[in-house]
A = this chain, B = another copy of it.
Amino acid sequence: MTEEQLIQMALKVRQNAYVPYSEFMVGAALLGVSGEVYTGCNVECASLGATNCAERTAVFKAVSEGETKFKAIAVTGDPNKYTFPCGICRQVLVEFGRELKVIVAKTPDDYKVFTIEELIPHSFTPDDLGKNSPEEDQNGF
């Protein structure tokens, strides 16, 4: 799975975004350590606070399918500008590990790569509540 392929999957699922309020479509593709990819789009709600972003849709889908360790996520929003994950998504992503690679893409050829740790440094994590993150058992990649 190359970064370009992951971005292509994010671009494809972005078409399913349900965004009657903002009309701002976002797609995400999350690569699990198993090799499986989980895709997500944003899903808005009339009560805006119940809105869910693309990145979290992908994470929730993955967890519900039994996977909790991830290698990389590609995010695609505005095709003319890098669309970064919001703070809520960064919080949910870092729950599952600090090493996750975040690929912020305009197109399959135009993207930037960060670690989730770079995007939410000094994060509030399971450890703050006396719990372990799923990554604790993770073997290095």
Which residues on A are within 8 Å of B, measured CB to CB? 13, 16, 18, 20-22, 24, 39-41, 43-54, 56-61, 63-66, 68, 77-78, 81-92, 94-95, 104, 114, 118-129, 131-132, 134
The complex places the Cα of A13 from the Cα of B126 at a distance, in Å, of 23
Q: Is the interface of A mostly helix, strand, loop or mixed?
A: mixed
- Verify A16–B65 contact, CB threshold 8 A: yes
20 contacts between A and B (CB under 8 A): A16-B66, A18-B63, A39-B64, A43-B63, A45-B92, A45-B95, A46-B95, A46-B128, A47-B91, A49-B51, A49-B53, A50-B86, A50-B88, A52-B60, A57-B60, A57-B64, A82-B122, A87-B90, A87-B94, A121-B121
